[in-house]
């Protein structure tokens, strides 16, 4: 999830844990605790982009880091806030819960989280919610702001904690329902077409949970399409993108290529474009692909000119967004198919 959401959620959880004992200081401690795993962004200041892809949401998002950090911070917090008379055990459990919530939330989108680092490099990604979903975050943001303004002894504080956590949790439940429904529909469509897909990926498009981006992998290509929960028909228009893995052969045993393959979890294509060789990670979707089925992919890594790949995941995510593309997104969410 985005940093603002983590901060708001952490503050609310901090209030629930020790608001009565520590006042608004509990919210500050909670906000910091919830944000700790994202300290890995510091590594991007000196790491090459391709290396940073695997470091981000890697070790600092692991169960091992969670336990080790919680134990250390629990002991320090108990000594620092001795007057609050909160035991070592409760402090440790508080930090375990905060960091665990962070790890779980980040696993709900497509980037992937290294839960088992440094012992296993497998990335966990459930693709249930977009990395920044305002319909999830707004409840937490409102709750945190109101708690910050209310007096310490206000009887309304507990109600706002409960309401913000309840509403955001209900939205996540709704997102999971959408995920399951879309998956079932895609399987039915592919079965009707007699399309044999070795893997299927469904993930929400930017800033909503109603329009879903779909990838179906076959032996030689990826079938890419979009499905709205409001679509009236039971069909989906797919666009074929050949894998073209053979284009990587001239690069030999390139370490960068191997890292990109590992990061993409196999969801990638390779293509020549404007006299350079691009590695596309399909998991992050296309640039306004709901209106242009042949739109370029948001994540594209220049294999021949590595120096241009700063902020590699972000370089296409919201480019070319304007009133027209936003209107097209809203229409496609509502079930209106783009002309092909």
**Which token pair is 15?**
């209030």
**Omega before residue 118 within 30° of 0, cis:** yes
Q: Is 39 exposed, middle or buried, given 0-12, 13-18 or 19+ CB atoms closer than 10 A?
A: exposed
* 10 and 134 both lie in a single domain: yes
> Do 135 and 225 have their domain in common?
no
Residue where one domain finishes, among candidates 174, 206, 232: 174
Residue 314, pLDDT above cutoff 60: no
- Total domains present in the chain: 2
The verdict on 125 and 58 lying in the same domain is yes
Does residue 254 have a pLDDT over 60? yes
Q: Would residue 67 count as lying in a domain? A: yes
Average pLDDT over residues 313-319: 63
Give, to the nearest 10 degrees, the angle between helix 134-149 and helix 3-22.
30
> Are 99 and 13 members of one domain?
yes
For residue 340, the model assigns a pLDDT of 55
**pLDDT tens readout for residues 134-187:** 999 999 999 999 999 999 989 999 999 999 999 999 999 999 999 999 999 999
What would the two tokens of residue 214 be?
């779909």
H-run or E-run covering 30: helix 25-35
Least confidently predicted of 80-84, 197-201, 290-294: 80-84
Answer yes or no: do 210 and 329 share one domain. yes
Mean pLDDT of the 190-201 span: 92
- pLDDT value of residue 34: 97
Kindly indicate the confidence band of residue 338, based on its pLDDT and cuts at 50, 70 and 90. low
Residue 339 lies in a domain: no
Q: Answer whether residue 119 is part of any domain.
A: yes
Statement to judge: residues 169 and 34 lie in one domain:
yes
Phi, psi dihedrals of residue 127, rounded to the nearest 5°:
55, 50
In the predicted structure, residue 260 carries a pLDDT above the cut 60: yes
Q: Per-residue confidence at 336, pLDDT binned at 50, 70, 90? A: confident
Q: Is the pLDDT of residue 316 over 70?
A: no
CA distance 107 to 1: 9
Q: Over 90: is that where the pLDDT of 272 sits?
A: yes
pLDDT digits over 275-286, tens only? 899 999 999 999
**Whether residue 85 sits in one domain with residue 18:** yes
pLDDT band at 77 (very low <50, low <70, confident <90, very high): very high
Residue 185 lies in a domain: no
The total number of residues shown for the chain amounts to 340
Residue 340 lies in a domain: no
Are 246 and 154 part of one and the same domain? Answer: no
Q: Say yes or no: 152 and 207 in one domain.
A: no
Domain range for 305: 193-333
* CB contact at 8 A, 314 and 321: no
How confident is residue 232, by pLDDT bands cut at 50, 70 and 90?
A: confident
Q: Are residues 210 and 161 in the same domain?
A: no
Q: Do residues 27 and 119 share a domain? A: yes
Longest CA–CA separation in the chain, Å: 68
Q: What is the dihedral of CA 184, 188, 191, 197, to 10 degrees?
A: -30
Task: Decide if pLDDT at 337 tops 90.
Answer: no
17, 26 Cβ separation under 8 angstroms: yes
Is 231 contained in some domain? yes
User: Looking at the structure, do residues 92 and 203 belong to the same domain, yes or no?
Assistant: no
Query: pLDDT tens-digit profile of 78-122?
Result: 999 888 889 999 999 999 999 999 999 999 999 999 999 999 999
**pLDDT digit string, tens, across residues 9-57:** 999 999 999 998 999 999 999 999 999 999 998 987 888 888 989 999 9
Average pLDDT of the chain is 92
277 within 8 A of 325, measured Cβ to Cβ: no
Inside any domain, residue 92: yes
């Amino acid at each position: 999830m985005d940093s603002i959401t983590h901060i708001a959620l952490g503050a609310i959880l901090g209030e629930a844990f020790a608001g009565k004992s520590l006042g608004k200081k509990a919210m500050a401690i909670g906000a910091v605790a919830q944000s700790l795993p994202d300290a890995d962004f510091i590594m991007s200041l000196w790491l090459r982009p391709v290396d940073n892809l695997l470091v981000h949401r890697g070790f600092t998002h692991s169960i091992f880091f969670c336990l080790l950090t919680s134990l250390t911070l629990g002991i320090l917090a108990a000594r620092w806030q001795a007057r609050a008379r909160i035991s070592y055990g409760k402090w440790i459990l508080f930090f375990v819960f905060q960091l665990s919530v962070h790890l779980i939330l980040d696993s709900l989108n497509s980037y992937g989280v290294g839960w088992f680092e440094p012992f296993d490099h497998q990335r966990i990604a459930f693709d249930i919610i977009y990395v920044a979903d305002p319909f999830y975050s707004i409840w937490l943001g409102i709750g945190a702001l109101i708690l910050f303004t209310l007096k310490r002894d206000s009887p309304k504080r507990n109600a706002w904690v409960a309401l913000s956590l309840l509403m955001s949790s209900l939205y996540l439940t709704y997102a999971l329902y959408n995920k399951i429904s879309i998956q079932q529909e895609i399987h039915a469509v592919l079965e009707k077409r007699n399309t044999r897909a070795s893997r299927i990926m469904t993930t929400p498009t930017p800033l909503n949970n109603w329009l879903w981006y779909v990838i179906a992998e076959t032996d030689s290509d990826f079938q890419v399409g979009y499905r709205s929960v409001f679509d009236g028909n039971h069909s989906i228009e797919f666009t074929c993108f050949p894998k073209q893995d053979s284009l990587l052969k001239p690069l030999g045993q390139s370490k960068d290529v191997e890292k990109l393959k590992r990061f993409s979890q196999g969801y990638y294509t390779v293509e020549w474009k404007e006299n350079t060789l691009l590695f596309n990670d399909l998991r992050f979707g296309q640039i306004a692909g709901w209106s242009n089925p042949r739109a370029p992919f948001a994540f594209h890594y220049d294999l021949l000119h590595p120096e241009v790949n700063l902020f590699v995941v972000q370089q296409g995510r919201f480019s070319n967004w304007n009133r027209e593309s936003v209107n097209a997104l809203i229409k496609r969410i509502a079930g209106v198919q783009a002309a092909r």
